[in-house]
Structures are given as structure tokens and as C-alpha cells.
Amino acid sequence: MSVSRHIVVIGAGITGLTTAHHLTAAACRVTVLEASDRLGGLLHTRHLHGYTVDVGAEAMHVGSPAVSSLLAEVGLAESVATARRGTSWLWTSRGRRPLPAGVTPAGPTKLLPVLKSRVMSPLGLLRAGLEPVLPRPALPAHHDVSVGDFVAGRFGREVAERLVDPLLGSLHAGDIKQLGLRSCAPSLVPAAESGRSLLRRRRPTAASPASPAPSPAVKRGPALMSFISWAAGLATVPEAIAQGLDVRLNSAAASLVRQGEGWTVHCVDGTWVEADAVVLAVPLAVARRLLAEHVDDSIFAGHSTASVATLVAAFPRTTLAAHGLGETNGLLIPSRHGSTLKAATFLSNKWDHFADAEHALVRMSVGRAGSEDVVTRADEAVADRALADLATFTGLRTTPEWVHVERWPHAMPQLTVGHTARLAALREALPAGLVVAGASYDGLGITSCLVSAAQAATQLAGR
């Protein structure tokens, strides 16, 4: 009778738990070690003054089969809350403007909505419209370029600064002139390597794999909204995945020791676990420490992170409507404006489960690469700066009844130019039986983490 492989997964964030879920389905025996006292990593739901609010990731995007499949497998597909219709705004030198339709974190796919939005100047629009006819040098295979430089080269500087920076730059808390195209905007790589136009690209047909039919695993509203959550918060997801798994909280891994063809994971509390293989679903800085005896430290050169914070503020219920924000879901601020605030989400407008709440809840995101203010400043100072920026961009000067500040020190990996090559070198250097997975390696966002988890599980389950 064959004996199932025993795999240890270090880290009980969304990547680690999903990896364990897939490995268990493949008949492996899995132990998950988590250093903290909770599941979920950056999926963190808090109970604040009677409200259940996410202070890490705020929503899941349902456009990926990886998301739909996982939710169906763990029994969450029928209980999702879908984001309500609402306007997302961009801050410009002319004030607030609606985010144009067809604009993605990687740039515009349509020019007419951008024209109507008045986000860009006439010269900026003219330059963007020349993308199909201007020379488009092909990006050599295995070469990388920054997202900012690529987009500016194709569409002009204004598209990069006014559209891509507040979307992709805010998501990564980074500088788009430093973030790598291959790691942060992989959907653009085929066009970059072929030199084809992004505005003239052929629209996928109904039968094309690029536009799959909506998955029945996730209920959609009539408008096919993109973002979902749960009334009990995103912590619902890691809690559901963890059901039936052997997850050990407060079990920080201290070292990895080679044991024959397998590994022994020694924990800080003096316990240890033997395994056939180990998945490091942890930030790269943690992996670097655990791999110190097994991988040359120089392979980690070039890695950096950004510190961020999430703030939740409770205003009197009628405040948003009184300031013309009653239909507003979100606000994005380009980095060139120099504000502490980079984005705001009006939770009471966006989600049904906050619609009848006593307060109007506003979530604010602060922190960018190159500044540690959100870590070093006191909570009151961080809140005062964010609220002052919110007042500047929305006119909302009402004093909130309470503010919560949630800090995330060094939580956002900066996947800068050359990251994919550095990652390939790291994976090539890993001893047999060790695998890395998660946002530090395969990209930010829940979808990227789920794909990374599936790849790690496939790699180990097949051995």
C-alpha cells in the first residue's frame, strides 16, 4: 500500500491555505504552520464598533476561473455579496472626474470614454490616439521594462501618470517607473513582444478562451459586477478553506533542516515537523531567513517592500449624500499630487451589508514605496493627514465619530524591473523539495495568489 506524501506549508495566508487545499485534494497529508494567531494574512477582518470591516484586502475579483472554482469547492459561491453600482472617481488638476470605461490598471482599451471623461488634456488625448500608427519597438524576449516606461512609450506620459499610476501604482503602493511589466502587467507582455497595437487588438469572440462564459459558481447581478465579498468579511474565505486542514497557529518556523530526501521544519517553540516537501507561502524576507543555509544570499538582491496602512472612518449617516458622494464607490489619487491618501472606498455605498448602517463608513488607503511615514507616525497623525487629504479631494470636512488605523509594515512586495528573472534564478537555486509561492513571487492580488498556490500544489503533488 502506498504512503501519501507529507507536505508542510509554512504560512496560513490565502496562498498557503489554498496550496494545502489542493494538496489535500491530491491525497497528500498536509500540515500548515502559521506564525500568528489567525488565518488569512492580508485577508483580515476586524470587528470595529459593531461593524465587520476588512482592513487588509477589501474585495475579490470574480473574473478569474481560479476564484470561481475555489469558491465552489469550499461552498462559498452562493453566499457572496456583490458590489453595488456606483461611480469611481479619479482626482485630476481639474477636480474629480469619472474613471473612464475600459481603463484597466495597464492602461486604456478604448479612447472614446477617456475623451468624454476630460481626465486628459487635448494634447495628451492626441498622443494616446496615435498609438496604432506610431512605431512600436518589440520588447526582446526575456528583457523587462517598467510599466510606466512601456505605457508612456505607447500612449504618452499623461496616460501613464493620470490613469495607470492611480490604478496599478496604488494597487502595488509603488512607482510605475520601477514596477516591472512582466511581473505587474503580464497581460501586456504579448503585445510588447510582438509590437502589435493595444488599441487595434482583435476583440475575442464568444468562443475565444480569452472571454469565457460567466461561471455559474458565482452568482452575478444583472450588471455582471466584478467585485465580491461577504457580510462577515473576506476572512470568510480562509476560514472556509481551512475547514478539515491541519492548521497550527502560533507556530513560527525557525529553520529548515535537510533530513535524507526530506525536510524537518523546526519551530520557534521547540517543536518540529518532518516532511517530504515544504512550501514557503511567506513573504520573501521570511523565506530569505529560512533559506539562509540552503541558498546563496546574493540571490535575494533587488528585493524591496512598501509599508501601507488602511484607515476606516465612521461619519454621520447623511454625510456622504450631503457632500455629493451618495453614489460614489471609490476615489483614486495619482501620486503626482503628493498626498498621503492614495485611494478611498465608500463602503456604505459599495456594499449592501453597510447600506442601512448607523454610520457612513469610509475606508482610506495610505502609504507608498519610499516612505515609512505610515509606520513611524502615531495613529492620530496618520489619521489627520489622511482626513485632510480626503477633505481636499471631496470637500468632506466633517469630523468622524471614530477612526481605526491598521498598519501593514513592509507588506507590499515591490516587483520591480527584472523581478521575473530574479524569481527564476531563485526557483532554480532551491533544493529539491522546497517551493515558494505567494504575492512576493507571482504577483499581488488574490487571483495571483490562487494561481501561485495551484502551481505549487501541482509541482509537488506530481512528484
What is the average pLDDT score of the chain? 90
pLDDT confidence bin for 463, thresholds 50/70/90: low
100-194: CATH superfamily: protoporphyrinogen ix oxidase, domain 3 (1.10.3110.10)
- Asked if 406 contacts 311 with a C-beta cutoff of 8 angstroms, the reply is yes
pLDDT tens per residue, range 189-240: 999 999 999 888 644 434 334 434 444 444 433 333 489 999 999 999 999 9
Q: How many CA atoms does the CB half-sphere of 96 hold within 13 Å?
A: 18
- Asked if 221 contacts 234 with a C-beta cutoff of 8 angstroms, the reply is no
Q: Which of 192-201, 294-303, 332-341 has the lowest mean pLDDT?
A: 192-201
Q: What is the mean pLDDT of residues 155-167?
A: 93
Q: What is the mean pLDDT of residues 294-310?
A: 94
Which set of grid coordinates corresponds to residue 121? 488634456
Q: Would you call 63 helix, strand, or coil by DSSP?
A: coil
Position 203 scores a pLDDT of 46
pLDDT tens per residue, range 305-321: 999 999 999 999 999 99
Q: Which of 46-60, 175-189, 199-213, 313-327 has the lowest mean pLDDT?
A: 199-213
Beta strand spans in 155-303 (E)? 227-229, 246-248, 253-259, 262-267, 272-275, 277-280
For residue 459, the surrounding DSSP H or E stretch is helix 446-461
| d(C-alpha 280, C-alpha 87), whole Å | 40
User: Which positions ≥6 away from 346 have C-beta within 8 Å?
Assistant: 86, 320, 325, 328, 329, 330, 331, 360, 361, 362, 363
Q: How many CA atoms does the CB half-sphere of 267 hold within 13 Å?
A: 21
User: Which positions ≥6 away from 409 have C-beta within 8 Å?
Assistant: 307, 375
What predicted TM-score, i.e. pTM, was given to this entire model?
A: 0.91
| d(C-alpha 79, C-alpha 239), whole Å | 14
Q: Does 6-43+235-303+415-461 match 100-194 in CATH topology?
A: no
Percent pLDDT > 70 in the chain is 93
Position 2 scores a pLDDT of 54
Position 390 scores a pLDDT of 97
* Rg of the chain over all Cα atoms, to the nearest angstrom: 23
Residues β-bridged to residue 10: 33, 280
Position 210 scores a pLDDT of 40
Domain 6-43+235-303+415-461 has CATH 3.10.20.740: no
The Cβ of residue 49 has, within 10 Å, a number of other Cβ atoms equal to 13
- Asked if 277 contacts 5 with a C-beta cutoff of 8 angstroms, the reply is yes
Q: What is the DSSP string of 401-421?
A: SEEEEEEEEEEEE--BTTHHH
pLDDT tens per residue, range 97-127: 988 887 877 677 776 778 778 888 999 999 9
Position 3 scores a pLDDT of 60
| d(C-alpha 71, C-alpha 404), whole Å | 30
User: Which positions ≥6 away from 424 have C-beta within 8 Å?
Assistant: none
pLDDT confidence bin for 162, thresholds 50/70/90: very high
Contacts by 66-70 with C-beta closer than 8 Å and gap 24+? Answer: 66/447, 66/450, 66/451, 66/454, 67/218, 67/446, 67/447, 67/450, 68/215, 68/217, 68/218, 69/215, 69/217, 70/18, 70/21, 70/241, 70/450
User: Which positions ≥6 away from 58 have C-beta within 8 Å?
Assistant: 229, 234, 345, 363
Q: Where are the domains of the chain?
A: 6-43+235-303+415-461, 100-194
